[in-house]
Amino acid sequence: MNSGVIIYQVALDVPLRRLFDYLPIKNDTNILPKGTRVKVPFGRSHRIGIIMGQQAHSAFTPEQLKAIDSVCDNAPLFPEELCEFIEKTAQYYHHPIGEVAFTGVPLAIRLGKPCESLTKNDETIFPNEALTLHADQQNAVDLILSKQDEFAPFLLEGITGSGKTEVYLQVASAILQRQKQVLILVPEISLTPQTQERFIARFGEVTCFHSRMTPKQRLQAWLKVRYQQTRIIIGTRSAIFLPFANLGLIVIDEEHDASFKQQEGFRYLARDVAVLRAKRIQCPIILGSATPSFETIHNAQTGKYHWLRLPVRATSATLPEMILMDIRHNKLEAGLSNALIKEIEDSLKKNQQVLLFINRRGFSPTFMCYGCGWLAECERCDCRLTFHYKKQMLICHHCLHQRPEPNECPKCQATELHPVGQGTERLESFLQIRFPDVSMARIDSDSTRKKGSLEELLEKAKSKEAQLLIGTQMLAKGHHFPHLGMVAIVDADGGLFSVDFRSIERMAQLIIQVAGRAGRVHEAGRVIIQTFHPDEPLLQHILHQDYAELAKELLVERQRSALPPFSHLALIRASANNPHLPETLLKEVQQALQSTSQGQVSILGPVPAPMLKRQGQYRYQLLVQARERKPLHQLLHYSTIFLEKSKLGKKVRWSLDVDPIEMF
User: How far apart, in whole angstroms, are the C-alpha atoms of residue 264 and residue 657?
Assistant: 9
How many other C-beta atoms lie within 10 A of the C-beta of residue 336? 24
Q: How far is the CB of 304 from ligand ADP (least distance, A)?
A: 23
With CB under 5 A as the rule, give the number of residues binding Zn ion: 15
CB 234 within 8 A of CB 172: no
Picked from Zn ion, ligand ADP, none, the partner binding residue 111 (CB below 5 to 8 A depending on kind) is none
- 380 lies in the site for Zn ion, by CB under 5 A: yes
CA torsion sign for 181, 187, 188, 192 is negative
- 381 lies in the site for Zn ion, by CB under 5 A: yes
- 563 lies in the site for Zn ion, by CB under 5 A: no
- 414 lies in the site for Zn ion, by CB under 5 A: yes
The string of DSSP codes covering 193-235 is HHHHHHHHHHHS--EEE-TTS-HHHHHHHHHHHHTTS--EEEE
User: How far apart, in whole angstroms, are the C-alpha atoms of residue 135 and residue 133?
Assistant: 6
Picked from Zn ion, ligand ADP, none, the partner binding residue 155 (CB below 5 to 8 A depending on kind) is none
Q: How far is the CB of 131 from ligand ADP (least distance, A)?
A: 4
Picked from Zn ion, ligand ADP, none, the partner binding residue 369 (CB below 5 to 8 A depending on kind) is Zn ion
Instruction: Closer to Zn ion by CB, 111 or 372: give it.
Output: 372
Please give the residue ranges that form the binding site for ligand ADP (CB under 6 A): 131-134, 137, 158, 160-166, 314-315
Q: Which stretch binds Zn ion (CB under 5 A): 35-43, 105-113, 391-399, 569-577?
A: 391-399
At 10, give phi and psi (nearest 5°): -115, 135
Q: How far is the CB of 130 from ligand ADP (least distance, A)?
A: 9
CB 569 within 8 A of CB 621: no
Provide Rg for the chain, Cα atoms.
27
Picked from Zn ion, ligand ADP, none, the partner binding residue 372 (CB below 5 to 8 A depending on kind) is Zn ion
- Sheet containing 402-404: which strands, arranged edge to edge? 386-388, 393-395, 402-404
Instruction: Closer to ligand ADP by CB, 140 or 219: give it.
Output: 140
**One residue of 374, 389, 532, 642 binding Zn ion per CB under 5 A:** 374
Picked from ligand ADP, Zn ion, none, the partner binding residue 606 (CB below 5 to 8 A depending on kind) is none
Picked from Zn ion, ligand ADP, none, the partner binding residue 161 (CB below 5 to 8 A depending on kind) is ligand ADP
Q: Which stretch binds Zn ion (CB under 5 A): 84-92, 170-178, 307-315, 399-407?
A: 399-407
Instruction: Closer to Zn ion by CB, 409 or 457: give it.
Output: 409
User: How far apart, in whole angstroms, are the C-alpha atoms of residue 539 and residue 529?
Assistant: 9
Instruction: Closer to ligand ADP by CB, 137 or 192: give it.
Output: 137
- 382 lies in the site for Zn ion, by CB under 5 A: no
Long-range CB contact pairs, 643-651, < 8 A, 24+: 643/572, 643/585, 643/589, 644/16, 644/17, 646/585, 646/588, 646/589, 648/581, 648/584, 648/585, 648/588, 649/585, 651/576, 651/581
At 179, give phi and psi (nearest 5°): 65, 20
**What's the full length of the chain, in residues?**
664
In terms of C-beta density within 10 A (0-12 exposed, 13-18 middle, 19 or more buried), how is residue 229 classed? middle
Q: How far is the CB of 318 from ligand ADP (least distance, A)?
A: 13
- 369 lies in the site for Zn ion, by CB under 5 A: yes
Q: Residues in the site for Zn ion, rule: CB under 5 A? A: 369, 371-372, 374, 378, 380-381, 396, 398-399, 401, 409, 411-412, 414
